Structure 1
Amino acid sequence: MRRLLQNNGQLFMSQLKNRHVNTTGAGAGAGVTAQQKTKQQFSKAKPTDAVSRGDKFGAKYCMSLVEKYDYENYLSTLLLPQGMRPAAFALRAFNVEVSRSVSGQVSEPQIAKLRLKFWYDSIDKCFDPEADRSYVKDQPVLRELRRTVGNRKLNKIFLRRLVTARERAPNQAFETLRELEEYAEQTCSSMLHLLVELSGIKDMQVDHAASHLGKAQGIAMMLRAIPHTGRQQTVCIPLEVLVRHGVSQERILRSKRDDKGVEECVFEVASAANGHLKLSRQLLPQIPRVVRKIFLPAVATDGYLERLRRAHFILTDASCIKRDAILPARLFWKTLFNKY
């Protein structure tokens, strides 16, 4: 049964990807005459989200970038409604580029600051209608982002948070668990808020669920990154948790199976992520259907936390490091039942 679900899920995701690639850049296809007239009238009044042939490269570039560096969110984005996918991939690709700007820049922090300054200034240029002749036009991600913000009403503050949150020094430890949650909210929750804005939904309960889900996803992602963290970078376990259990950051990096102190530290942080995930899912009955697809990253977050629990919170366990092979099937299953 598990192999059947995995094969069906992979087949579904492959077909969905092919449909997205074929429709991207093709505009409206052959259809009912009345629908064509409606689309033509709408295009005269307001710019559409259909990708022109000239921007086909930019759309595919964003899609490939997310697939390479953010595979789990790539799968979730494929399951969004077709009209939202190009804009969602543009936002995801922008987030990937910002994240890559600071990765591995421990020894040369000034380079990371210059890169972040570039992306921060680019946000204003994307919102500027007179920026056609700037460097935005030559950068595929920024070109797609500019087209997205030109067709949708997006909050510039959330885009800026994606950049300003990464200004934190890689070797700067988190003092408290609340500080860790705030960082996760600035990064992951801001992205979810932007995706919700793409859907046009404005609801307080939706924003509340997005905030909790972003915190859960962000904390889980930082836990997953610990085995790959270099000695010059700090781990995401807050200092107050380390002090409470008498554990050093070096012991967290080693993550030995018989170290109960490390297990308690990881358990406390993972429990915080799981608590936010549960709070987000408790609001499921009040979440519109289209937003439930936006919240599909909860499936990958829940899967990792469950594997971590079964591994007794050993971060270096093989099941916690390798990619979830049945994630496509689980996403497909959640989509069928309209859950996240």
Structure 2
Amino acid sequence: MTKALRSPALVVRAYNAEIARVQDQTTDPQTAAMRLQFWQDAVGVIYDQQNANIPANPVTQELNKVCATYKLPRRYIERLISSRAGLLKNKYFKSLEDVEAYTENTVSTIYYLLLCIAGVANVHADHAASHLGKAQGLVNILRSVHVSNYHKTICLPMEVLMKYEVSQQAVLRGTDNENMRNVVFEIASRANSHLEKARKIEVPKLCNQIFLPAIAVDKYLTKLQKKNFNVFDKSLQLGSPMLPLSLYYRRLLNKY
């Protein structure tokens, strides 16, 4: 990103990372809820302009500055917390539509905040951000299958698992078979559909650098297809050495 966007964008992503990892830091729902409440209270202090009471947390301190400078909408900042709190209560996704709703409230919301920082108020940009966020969120769900095995939780939508007669235990055991690949194919197809829709929308040029994570999403889906949708293939967890070059090249072209 350009220097003007880089620093505030880093703050927003750091804030999101702090909230997102709450559910990974503890298996106790009460402890997780208390940690989310800390962030909810901190946001309340920031927007109620009680500067003297802002917690001595580096992310909170920087978020306070960014929210004040760029007038970030409170609803987006709080949505990142409430969506995670909702997942803590429900513990699983019932359908693909539930996953899409969750990714809209998490990943897409990050893009909305970045557009606010860039001063882009454009309905087409918002539409593209919505689709890209859903594509990225669905890919994150697929990539998290390995992590889920450690936490003994299933992020894949239950309706899709039932449709192809795949049990939760089979996912936790890392069982690769045709039914499991059908589950992955259906989720990956939905992600690819959102990615294609996002790229077809004409957006202001400044948006192209904000939406560059689309390159990583595309690369993962392409690699997954080459592995015949075996989500347990270990090579899918390895970083791509060519990704930085791809990002740099697309940045030069000003395309995502």
Q: TM-score, normalised by structure 1?
A: 0.72
Structure 2 residue 89 is matched with structure 1 residue 173? no
Looking at structure 2, the residues matched to 305 and 126 of structure 1 have their Cα atoms a distance apart, in angstroms, of 39
- Give the superposition deviation at 1:295: 0.4
Give the counterpart letter for 1:314 in structure 2.
Answer: N
Structure 2 residue 181 is matched with structure 1 residue 263? yes
SS in 2 for 1:83: helix
SS in 2 for 1:247: coil
Looking at structure 1, the residues matched to 122 and 90 of structure 2 have their Cα atoms a distance apart, in angstroms, of 38
SS in 2 for 1:324: coil
Looking at structure 1, the residues matched to 71 and 151 of structure 2 have their Cα atoms a distance apart, in angstroms, of 41
Structure 2 residue 201 is matched with structure 1 residue 280? no
SS in 1 for 2:235: helix
Contact 1:120/1:160 (8 A) holds in 2 = yes
1:222 equivalent in structure 2: 141
**Deviation digits for residues 78-116 of structure 1 (CA, Å, limit 9, x no counterpart):** xx111111111110110011112221422x110000000
Looking at structure 1, the residues matched to 161 and 132 of structure 2 have their Cα atoms a distance apart, in angstroms, of 25
Contact 2:54/2:61 (8 A) holds in 1 = no
SS in 1 for 2:149: coil
Contact 2:95/2:159 (8 A) holds in 1 = yes
2:132 equivalent in structure 1: 213
2:23 equivalent in structure 1: 102
Contact 1:255/1:314 (8 A) holds in 2 = no
Looking at structure 2, the residues matched to 81 and 300 of structure 1 have their Cα atoms a distance apart, in angstroms, of 19
2:245 equivalent in structure 1: 329
Q: 1:171 to 1:321 in 2, by over 3 A?
A: farther
SS in 1 for 2:247: helix
1:123 equivalent in structure 2: 43
Percent identical among aligned pairs is: 36
Gaps of 5+ in 2: none
1:32 equivalent in structure 2: none
Q: 1:303 to 1:239 in 2, by over 3 A?
A: same
1:311 equivalent in structure 2: 227
Q: 1:153 to 1:317 in 2, by over 3 A?
A: same
Structure 2 residue 65 is matched with structure 1 residue 144? no
1:35 equivalent in structure 2: none
Structure 2 residue 9 is matched with structure 1 residue 88? yes
- Give the superposition deviation at 1:314: 1.1
Q: Rg: which structure is higher?
A: 1
Looking at structure 2, the residues matched to 233 and 169 of structure 1 have their Cα atoms a distance apart, in angstroms, of 14
Looking at structure 1, the residues matched to 211 and 192 of structure 2 have their Cα atoms a distance apart, in angstroms, of 15
Structure 2 residue 221 is matched with structure 1 residue 300? no
Give the counterpart letter for 1:272 in structure 2.
Answer: R
**Deviation digits for residues 128-158 of structure 1 (CA, Å, limit 9, x no counterpart):** 33x222143x211111101001111211111
Looking at structure 1, the residues matched to 174 and 22 of structure 2 have their Cα atoms a distance apart, in angstroms, of 28
Give the counterpart letter for 1:312 in structure 2.
Answer: N
Structure 2 residue 249 is matched with structure 1 residue 339? no
Q: 1:318 to 1:119 in 2, by over 3 A?
A: same
Contact 1:255/1:262 (8 A) holds in 2 = no
**Deviation digits for residues 149-174 of structure 1 (CA, Å, limit 9, x no counterpart):** 11112111111111111111287221
Looking at structure 2, the residues matched to 132 and 254 of structure 1 have their Cα atoms a distance apart, in angstroms, of 49
Looking at structure 2, the residues matched to 301 and 95 of structure 1 have their Cα atoms a distance apart, in angstroms, of 19
Give the counterpart letter for 2:209 in structure 1.
Answer: K
Q: TM-score, normalised by structure 2?
A: 0.95
Gaps of 5+ in 1: 1-79
Looking at structure 2, the residues matched to 124 and 196 of structure 1 have their Cα atoms a distance apart, in angstroms, of 22
Contact 2:83/2:105 (8 A) holds in 1 = yes
